[in-house]
């Protein structure tokens, strides 16, 4: 299932001359708790902890040592269970255009996701640990930026994908089941994302999906991982974080623009979900 371009596309700013970013995150930040998509290809290595992804409506569990592949345009959001530390590699498919002249199947682990490859590489395979070590070596090179680190990272990424192709492709393959529920609620997701300040009700959202409120709510939880109203709060807070970090708007203006009834309600929910008050976030951002 490909993403509807009107649903929460993340504009990943990849460096023009070296279009790859390697980072390490603790927990799941608010923007990535919402359903989103991007054109970059993504590799996750679970350094510690556990959690799960919802990718195109499919729940995919992960734990320490797992390696996950996420294709461009896939609708996905992450959830943390406990103590999650994740390495994230994101790169533009064109980054390896030259290499594909000599190995046209290099990006097949992404292109054939769901038929010959799974989102999670088999953790019991003898190559899994070696591939995890490769990803960590790439991160070390990316952080140190010693001479010729670009060539080393590029060569390690090519080697990583070649080994995934060699060892993790399924003979014959089978298509993984895609959730019909995602398509059913897609328009409601788009409408929520386009107008977070609107006072959405469960009945109003259910009517968009042509379902009863109870059926819509159950299907929404199954495919998105949380209730429609909780998801709306996450969308509003994600938009608020962006405004706090990128504008000088007053907090009461941000609260109103993001659909919160009053400043106290905004502060309470922000503290509950983000872990600090809006004013504390702005102050910490300005100190950086």
CATH of the domain at 88: 2.60.120.280
β-bridge mates for residue 63, sequence order: 50
Do residue 195 and residue 134 come from a single domain? no
pLDDT at 203 > cutoff 70: yes
CATH of the domain at 203: 1.10.10.60
Do residue 43 and residue 146 come from a single domain? yes
Residue 194: domain span: 181-287
pLDDT in tens, 42-65: 999 999 999 999 998 889 999 999
Asked if residue 121 lies in contact with residue 69, where contact means CB atoms within 8 angstroms, the answer is: yes
Number of domains comprising the chain: 2
Do residue 221 and residue 250 come from a single domain? yes
Taking the C-alpha atoms of residue 265 and residue 8, their distance in angstroms, rounded to an integer, is: 25
Asked if residue 84 lies in contact with residue 45, where contact means CB atoms within 8 angstroms, the answer is: no
β-bridge mates for residue 201, sequence order: none
Taking the C-alpha atoms of residue 69 and residue 15, their distance in angstroms, rounded to an integer, is: 21
Question: pTM surpassing 0.75?
Answer: no
Do residue 117 and residue 232 come from a single domain? no
Vertex 233: Cα angle to 56 and 2 (nearest 5): 15
Do residue 156 and residue 200 come from a single domain? no
Say which residues have a Cβ less than 8 Å from residue 228's Cβ, sequence separation at least 6: 188, 192, 200, 202, 205, 216, 217, 220
Residue with tokens 């919402």: 34
pLDDT in tens, 65-115: 999 999 987 888 899 888 999 999 999 888 887 787 678 789 889 988 888
If you count them, how many residues does the chain have?
288
Of 147, 168, 189, which residue sits at a domain end?
A: 168
Of 135, 168, 201, which residue sits at a domain end?
A: 168
Do residue 35 and residue 152 come from a single domain? yes
The answer to whether position 174 is within a domain reads no
DSSP structure string for 220-254: HHHHHSS-HHHHHHHHHHHHHHHHHHH----HHHH
């Amino acid at each position: 299932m490909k993403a509807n371009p009107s649903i929460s596309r993340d504009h990943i700013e990849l460096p023009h001359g070296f279009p790859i970013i390697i980072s390490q995150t603790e927990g799941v930040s608010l923007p990535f708790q919402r359903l989103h998509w991007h054109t970059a290809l993504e590799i996750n290595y679970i350094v510690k902890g556990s959690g799960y992804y919802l990718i195109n409506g499919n729940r995919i569990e992960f734990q320490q040592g797992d390696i996950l592949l996420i294709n461009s345009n896939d609708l996905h959001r992450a959830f943390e269970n406990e103590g999650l530390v994740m390495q994230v590699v994101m790169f533009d498919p064109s980054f390896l255009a030259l290499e594909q002249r000599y190995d046209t199947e290099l990006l097949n682990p992404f292109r054939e996701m769901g038929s010959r490859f799974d989102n999670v590489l088999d953790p019991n395979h003898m190559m899994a640990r070696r591939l995890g070590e490769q990803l960590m070596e790439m991160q070390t090179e990316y952080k140190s930026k010693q001479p010729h680190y670009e060539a080393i990272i590029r060569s390690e990424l090519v080697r990583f994908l070649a080994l995934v192709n060699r060892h993790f492709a399924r003979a014959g393959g089978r298509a993984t089941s895609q959730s019909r529920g995602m398509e059913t609620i897609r328009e409601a997701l788009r409408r929520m994302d386009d107008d977070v300040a609107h006072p959405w009700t469960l009945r109003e959202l259910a009517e968009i999906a042509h379902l009863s409120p109870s059926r819509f709510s159950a299907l929404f939880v199954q495919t998105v991982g949380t209730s429609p109203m909780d998801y709306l709060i996450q969308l509003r807070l994600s938009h608020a974080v962006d405004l706090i970090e990128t504008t000088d708007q007053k907090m009461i203006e941000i609260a109103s623009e993001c659909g919160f009834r009053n400043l106290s309600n905004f502060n309470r929910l922000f503290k509950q979900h983000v872990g600090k008050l809006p004013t504390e976030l702005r102050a910490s951002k300005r100190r950086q």
